[in-house]
Amino acid sequence: MRHYNLALLGFGNVGRALARLLLEKATELRERYQISFAFTAIATGRHGAAIDPNGLDIQRALALVESGGSLDELSRQPSPADRLDFIRASGADVLFENTPVNYESGQPAVDHLRTALECGMHAITANKGPVVHAYHSLTRLAAAQGKKFYHEAAVMDGAPIFSLFREALPAARLLALHGVLNSTTNLILTRMEAGESFEEAVAYAQSIGIAETDPSGDIDGWDAAVKVAALVTVLMDTPLKPAEVDRTGIRGITPEHIQQAKAAEKRWKLVCSARRTPQGIQARVAPEMVGSDSPLYTVSGTTSIVQFETDVLGLLSIVESDPGPQTTAYGLLADFINAAG
C-alpha cells in the first residue's frame, strides 16, 4: 500500500469536487490501486488555509468553506501566507494546483508547480497557463526529480487528451487538430440559434456559472487560443503562445448571421484549429459556419469536441458532453492515479 499526503492549492468548485471524488473513490483506490491518502494542506483565496501533518478533516473543511467560514481553525500549525512557503510546509507528496489561469504568463501557477517539484512532489494542475508557458521546463524538472507533472484537466476537463497521446498512441505524430474547445461560446451560439440575442445568451451563461462576470476571455477567443496553444505545445512538441494564435472571437456574430446560417442549413461555431505546414504551425481560433457533414455541427450547448489527424490513423474524434467541476475533478484524479503508478 502506497500512502500519499495531498495538498490542495485552490479550493473552489473544482478543488471541492476533487475532494469529494477522492472520498468517493477511496475504497477503490485502496483495493484496486493500493493507494491510500490524506489531505494534509489546503489553501484558498478567500477562506484561509490549513496544514495538519496528521491529516485534515476534509468533510469539515468542505462544510467550512461552503458556509463562508475559514479553514484557519483546522490548522495544527501556523500556515504561511506566502503560497510558496505554504507548499514547502505542506508535507505533501502531491500538489493539486487549481488557482485561476493567467493567460499572459502562467504565473503564479508556474512557480507553485515548480516549487512542488523541487520539494519532491508530483505536480498536477487543471490550469492551462503553466502548460502553455512552462510545459517543457516543468516536464524536464519533473523527470530530473523522478516525479510527474500532469495536466489532463487543462483542456476538455476530464476527457483523455494528453494521456491519449502519452500512453495509447505511441509513435503517432499529430499533423492537425480541429474542434470546438470553448463551452461558453458554444452555449451562447446554441442559445442564439434558439432565438436569444447575444446579450441574453451571455447573461444566461453567467447565470448558470459557465461565463465569468467579465466574459471577454471566452467571447473574445482567449480561452480557446490558450487551449490551442496548450495542445500544440504538448502534442505537437512545439512551443506556442496564445498571442501567436490567429484569434477572432464571437462578438461580431449577430442574429442575422445566425439566421443566414440556418437558411443555408449550417451553424456557427467558434472553431479551433492547428496544422503542421512547411512554414511551421498554423493555429487559428475563429467563428466558422459548419454544415451537417462536419462532426462539429451536432455539438451543442456546453459540449466540446476535438478531432485529431495523425500520420498513422484516420481522423480520431473525442467528444465531451456537458462538462462541469466533477469532470474536471476526474481529470485531476486520473492524473494522480497515473502519477502514483
**First CA to last CA across the chain, in angstroms?**
12
Ramachandran quadrant class, 145 (left: phi over 0; alpha: psi -120 to 50; beta: rest): alpha
String of DSSP letters for 202-261: HHHHHHTTSS-SSTHHHHTTHHHHHHHHHHHHHHS-----GGGSEE--STT--HHHHHHH
Q: What does the block give as the cell for 100?
A: 485561476
Q: Are strands 174-180 and 266-277 parallel, antiparallel or unpaired?
A: antiparallel
For residue 199, which of 278, 151, 237, 253 has the smallest C-alpha distance? 253
Give the count of alpha carbons within 13 A of 132, CB side only: 28
Buried b or exposed e, range 138-161, using 16+ CB within 10 angstroms: bbebbeebebbbbbbbbbbbbbbb
227 is catalytic: yes
Which residue of the set 128, 148, 227, 269 is catalytic? 227
Q: Catalytic residue positions?
A: 227
